[in-house]
Amino acid sequence: MLSWLEPKLNGDELATTSAVLDVAEELAADAFLSHYKQADQSEPRLEPDGVHVLPAIGAALRQYAELGFFAAGFEKPLGGMGLSTLVSSAIFAQFAAANIATSAYPMLTAANARLIARFGSAEQIQQFALPQIAGRWFGTMCLSEPQAGSSLADIRMRACREGTDSLGERYLLAGNKMWISGGDQDISENIVHLVLAKIPRADGTLAEGTKDISLFVVPKILPWGQRNDIAVAGLNHKMGYRGTANCLLNFGEAKGAVGWLIGNAGDGLHQMFHMMNEARIAVGLGAAALGYRGYMHALHYARERRQGRLTGLRAGPPVAIIEHVDVKRMLLAQKTYAEGALALCLFCAHLVDQEHEEGAAALLELLTPVAKTWSSEYGLAANDLAIQIHGGYGYTRDFDVEQLYRDNRLNPIHEGTTGIQALDLLGRKILRGGGAPLETVTAKVTSCCDRARSHRALEPYTHALAAAWRTVSTTVDVLRSNDAARALDNATPFLSAFGHTIVAWLWLEQATAADQAASTGRVTRSFAQGKQRACRYFFECELPRVYVWLNAVTSCSDVAAGASLDEF
Amino acid sequence: MLSWLEPKLNGDELATTSAVLDVAEELAADAFLSHYKQADQSEPRLEPDGVHVLPAIGAALRQYAELGFFAAGFEKPLGGMGLSTLVSSAIFAQFAAANIATSAYPMLTAANARLIARFGSAEQIQQFALPQIAGRWFGTMCLSEPQAGSSLADIRMRACREGTDSLGERYLLAGNKMWISGGDQDISENIVHLVLAKIPRADGTLAEGTKDISLFVVPKILPWGQRNDIAVAGLNHKMGYRGTANCLLNFGEAKGAVGWLIGNAGDGLHQMFHMMNEARIAVGLGAAALGYRGYMHALHYARERRQGRLTGLRAGPPVAIIEHVDVKRMLLAQKTYAEGALALCLFCAHLVDQEHEEGAAALLELLTPVAKTWSSEYGLAANDLAIQIHGGYGYTRDFDVEQLYRDNRLNPIHEGTTGIQALDLLGRKILRGGGAPLETVTAKVTSCCDRARSHRALEPYTHALAAAWRTVSTTVDVLRSNDAARALDNATPFLSAFGHTIVAWLWLEQATAADQAASTGRVTRSFAQGKQRACRYFFECELPRVYVWLNAVTSCSDVAAGASLDEF
Q: Whose CA is closest to B360, among B436, B284, B451, B429?
A: B436
Is the pLDDT confidence value at A196 over 80?
Answer: yes
What is the band of B483 on the pLDDT scale with cuts at 50, 70, 90? Answer: confident
- Residue B4's pLDDT band (boundaries 50, 70, 90)? very low
Does the interface predicted TM-score (ipTM) exceed 0.85? yes
Mean pLDDT over all residues of chain A? 95
Instruction: Choose the CATH number for A267-413 among 1.20.140.10, 3.30.70.270, 1.20.1600.10, 3.90.850.10.
Output: 1.20.140.10
pLDDT band at residue A4 under the 50/70/90 scheme:
very low
Q: How far is CA B385 from CA A409, A490, B326, B393, B404, in A?
A: 11, 16, 11, 13, 11
Which of A387, A423, A492 is nearest residue B329 as measured by Cβ atoms?
A492
- Interface touch B326/A560, C-beta < 8 Å: yes
Asked if A485 and B312 come within 8 Å (Cβ–Cβ), the reply is yes
CATH code of the domain made up of B138-265:
2.40.110.20
Question: Which chain A residues touch B322 with a CB distance below 8 Å?
Answer: 565, 568
Closest listed residue to residue B177, CA positions, set B212, B140, B129: B140
- Would you state the pLDDT for residue A16? 82
Contact flag B413-A406 (C-beta cutoff 8 Å): no
Element (H, E) at B532: helix B525-537
3-state secondary structure labels for all residues of A364-417: HHHHHHHHHHHHHHHHHHHHHHHHHHHHHHHHECCCCHHHHHHHHCCCCCCCCC
| Length of chain B (residues) | 568
**Partner-chain contact B526 A328, CB within 8 Å:** no
Q: Please, are residues B145 and B155 in contact by the beta-carbon 8 Å criterion?
A: yes
A548 and B552 within 8 Å at the Cβ level: the answer is no
pLDDT of residue B16: 82
Nearest C-alpha in B relative to A486: B311
* Average pLDDT score over residue span B101-116: 98
Q: How far apart are CA B297 and CA B290, in angstroms?
A: 11
Q: Who among B332, B412, B491 is closest to A326 (CB)?
A: B491
The Cα–Cα gap between A386 and A428 comes to 36
Q: Which candidate in A177, A329, A383, A510 is best for mutational testing of the B interface (most B CBs within 10 A)?
A: A329
Tell me if A149 and B308 make a contact (CB, 8 A cut-off).
yes
**B161: region left, alpha or beta (phi > 0 left; psi from -120 to 50 alpha):** beta
Do residues A298 and A401 touch, judged by C-beta distance below 8 A?
yes
DSSP for residue B76: G
Of B314, B559, B567, the CB nearest to A530: B567
Alpha-carbon span A170 to B198, nearest angstrom: 81
Assess whether pLDDT exceeds 50 at residue B1: no
B559/A552 touch (CB, cutoff 8 Å), yes or no: no
- Kindly list the domain boundaries of chain B, sorted by start residue: 3-137, 138-265, 267-412, 417-558
CATH class of A417-560: mainly alpha
Q: How far is A227 from chain B (nearest CA, A)?
A: 29
B124-182 confidence digits (pLDDT tens)? 999 999 999 999 999 999 999 998 888 899 999 999 999 999 999 999 999 999 999 99
Give A-chain residues touching B307 at CB under 8 angstroms: 148-151, 154
Mean of the per-residue pLDDT values for chain B?
95
Cβ neighbors of B510 (< 8 A, separation 6 or more) are B4, B339, B343, B531, B534, B535
pLDDT (mean) for B395-409: 98
B144 contacts in chain A (CB < 8 Å): 392
Residue in chain B closest to A144 (alpha carbons) equals: B392
Task: Give residue A402's Cα distance to chain centre.
Answer: 20
Q: A328, B154: Cβ pair inside 8 Å?
A: no
By Cβ distance, the residue of B315, B335, B392 closest to A179 is B392
Element housing B176 (H / E): strand B168-181
The Cβ of residue B48 has, within 10 Å, a number of other Cβ atoms equal to 4
Contact B540 A557 (CB under 8 A): yes
Asked if B327 and B304 touch (Cβ cutoff 8 Å), the reply is no
CB atoms A563 and B328 under 8 Å: yes
Report the C-alpha gap between A415 and A393 in whole angstroms: 32
CB A105 within 8 A of CB A57: yes
CB contact under 8 A, A391 and B413: yes
Look up residue A228 and give its DSSP letter: P
pLDDT digits (tens, 9 = 90+) for B257-311: 999 999 999 999 999 999 999 999 999 999 999 999 999 999 999 999 999 988 6
State how far residue A241 is from chain B, nearest Cα, in angstroms. Answer: 10
Closest CA to B98 of B164, B5, B178, B32: B32
Q: Looking at beta carbons, which residues of chain B come within 8 Å of A142?
A: none
Nearest to B326 among A402, A492, A565 (CB): A492
pTM, 2 dp: 0.97
**B536 → closest Cβ in A153, A322, A559:** A559
pLDDT at B554: 93
**pLDDT band for position A2 (50/70/90)?**
very low
Contacts of B412 in chain A (CB under 8 A): 388
Q: What is the pLDDT of residue B151?
A: 87
Q: Per mean pLDDT, which of A6-15, A122-131, B551-560 is the most reliable? A: A122-131
Write out pLDDT tens, residues A532-568: 999 999 999 999 999 999 999 999 999 999 999 999 9
Q: Which of B239, B395, B526 sits opposite A566 (nearest CB)?
A: B526
Q: How far apart are CA A538 and CA A545, in angstroms?
A: 10
CATH of domain A3-137: 1.10.540.10
CB A423, CB A488: distance < 8 Å = yes
A308 and B561 within 8 Å at the Cβ level: the answer is: no
What span, in angstroms and rounded, lies between the C-alpha atoms of A359 and A351?
A: 9
Closest Cβ opposite residue B414 in set A392, A544, A568: A392
Residues A178, B392: C-beta atoms closer than 8 Å: yes
DSSP per residue over A427-463, as a string? Answer: IIIIISS-SHHHHHHHHHHHHHHHHHTTSGGGHHHHH
Closest Cα in chain B to A489: B325
Q: How far apart (Å, rounded) are the C-alpha atoms in residues B531 and B512?
A: 9
Taking contacts as CB-CB distances below 8 angstroms, the residues of chain B near A414 are 392
Instruction: Provide CB contacts within 8 A for B371, sequence distance 6+.
Output: B280, B281, B284, B285, B344, B345, B347, B348
- pLDDT band of residue B68 (cuts 50, 70, 90) is very high
Nearest to B307 among A151, A311, A315 (CB): A151
A99 to chain B, minimum CA–CA distance in Å?
18
Q: What is the CATH number of domain B267-412?
A: 1.20.140.10
What are the chain A neighbours of B409 within 8 Å (beta carbons)?
384, 387, 395, 402, 405
For the stretch A293-345, pLDDT in tens is 999 999 999 999 999 988 666 678 899 999 999 999 999 999 999 999 999 99
Q: What is the pLDDT of residues A140-183, one digit of tens each?
A: 999 999 988 888 999 999 999 999 999 999 999 999 999 999 99
Q: Are B280 and B415 in contact (CB under 8 A)?
A: yes
- Residues in A closer than 8 angstroms to B331, CB to CB, are 563, 568
Which among B236, B332, B412 is the nearest to A563, CB-wise?
Answer: B332
Looking at residue A8, what is its pLDDT? 60
Q: Are strands B213-219 and B230-235 parallel, antiparallel or unpaired?
A: unpaired
Q: What is the mean pLDDT of residues B358-365?
A: 96
* Residue A321 distance to chain B (closest CA, Å): 11
Is residue B4 a contact partner of residue B514, using CB atoms and an 8 Å limit?
A: yes
Q: How far apart are CA B240 and CA B294, in angstroms?
A: 15
Three-state helix/strand/coil letters over A510-554:
HHHHHHHHHHCCCCCHHHHHHHHHHHHHHHHHHCCHHHHHHHHHH
Closest Cα in chain A to B536: A559
Residue B331, pLDDT score: 98
